[in-house]
Amino acid sequence: MSWKKALIPLAALPLIGLLAYGFTTDPRAIPSPLIKKPAPPFTMTVYDGGPLSLEGLRGKVVLLNFWASWCFPACYEEAPELERAWRAYRDRGLVVGVDIQDTEAAGRQFIDQFKLTFANGPDPGGKIAIDYGVYGVPETFVIDRQGVIAHKQVGGVTDQMVAEQVEPLLKP
């Protein structure tokens, strides 16, 4: 009888174990359900230009980047990196920037500041952002030639990310 009772204090240990498991998880990292799924179609009006739709870009690798002028410091750090990637791969791939929750003036000023030449446009009402399950900036989606989302980068784009995620898709 007494050994069964000894189990009672030990019953606390699975709870401690569960809480300790919590140290290994990051409650703020939310995996996206859109990976490996077709990228949601959208059409937007680019700053200084006409409409841009995702269907029209099929066949090319697309780096879809969500940013905002008030997103400091991450968007400011990745902007030159994106411009570099765009210039390097412009024949095989595209960088498209979506400016969310921003004003036109601030967005244009950001583009001028970093001399961005890839297509950028606003997202009024946040429909494109919500369609992509965006919850913060910056976030970047890598879409392959078949229009399927290959990778989602939460946080700034880095050289390493471009090398690992984008380059393999550019090959064929």
Partner 1 sequence: MIATVGSFVLFLGLVLSLYGAVISVLAGRRDRPDLLASARRTALVLVALTLLAAGLLIAALVNLDFSIRYVANNTSRGTPLYYRITGLWGALEGSIILWALWLTGYTALVAWRYRGAHRELMPTVLAVFFTACAFFFLVMTVPANPFARVWPVPADGRGLNVLLEDTYMFSHPPVLYLGFVGFTVPYAFAIASLVTGRLTPEWVIITRRWTVVAWYFLSLGNILGAWWSYHVLGWGGYWAWDPVENAAIMPWIMGTAFLHSVMIQERRGMLKVWNLALIILTFSLTLFGTFLTRSGVISSVHAFSQSSIGAYFLAFLGLVLVVSLSLLVWRSDQLRGHGELDAPVCRESAFLLNNVVLVGMCFAVFLGTIFPLLAELVRGVKVSVGAPFFNQVSIPLMAILLFLMGAGPLVAWRRATLDHLRRILLRPLGLAALVGVALYPVGRDYPAAVLIFALCAFVLASVIEEFWKGARARQRIMGEPLAVAVGSLTRRNRRRYGGLVVHVGVVLLVVGVAASSGFSREREVTLHQGEAVDVGRYHLLFQGLDAARESNHDRIWANVAVTNQGKPVGEMQPARKNYLANNQPISRAVMRSTLRDDLYVILTQADVDRTTGTHLATLKVLVRPLVIWMWIGGLVLTLGTVIAVWPDRRPSGVDEEAAA
Partner 2 sequence: MRSPASRVRNPQSAIRRGGLRVWGMLCLLAAAVALAGAAAPAPQAPQDLEEQVREIAAQLRCPVCQNLSVGDSPSGLANEMRGVIREKLKAGESRQQIEAYFTSKYGEWILLAPMKKGFNLLAWGLPFVGIVAGAFAVVFLTRRWAGREGATDGGGGEGVPPANPEDAAYRERLRRELDEFAR
> Total residues at the site for partner 1 (CB under 8 A)?
23
Nearer to partner 2, 92 or 101 (CB): 101
67 is a site residue for partner 2 (CB under 8 A): no
Query: Are 36 and 151 spatial neighbours (Cβ–Cβ below 8 Å)?
Result: no
**Nearest distance from C-beta of residue 127 to partner 2, angstroms:** 6
Residues β-bridged to residue 52: 44
Q: Using the rule CB under 8 A, which residue among 38, 70, 124, 125 binds partner 1? A: 70
**Nearest distance from C-beta of residue 163 to partner 2, angstroms:** 28
List, in order, residues 6 or more apart from 63 with CB less than 8 Å away: 82, 85, 86, 93, 94, 95, 96, 140, 141, 142, 143, 157, 166
14 is a site residue for partner 1 (CB under 8 A): no
Query: Are 158 and 169 spatial neighbours (Cβ–Cβ below 8 Å)?
Result: no
Burial class (CB in 10 A: 0-12, 13-18, 19+), 133: middle
**Nearest distance from C-beta of residue 124 to partner 2, angstroms:** 9
Residues β-bridged to residue 152: 141
Question: Per CB under 8 A, which of residues 134..163 are in contact with partner 2?
Answer: 135-136
C-alpha–C-alpha distance, residues 51 and 118, integer Å = 14
> Total residues at the site for partner 2 (CB under 8 A)?
16
**Binding partner of residue 32 among partner 2, partner 1, none, CB under 5 to 8 Å per kind?**
partner 2
C-alpha–C-alpha distance, residues 79 and 113, integer Å = 10
User: What residue ranges bind partner 1 (CB under 8 A)?
Assistant: 5-6, 8-13, 15-16, 18-23, 25, 27-28, 30-31, 70, 72
User: What residue ranges bind partner 2 (CB under 8 A)?
Assistant: 30-34, 101, 125-127, 129-133, 135-136
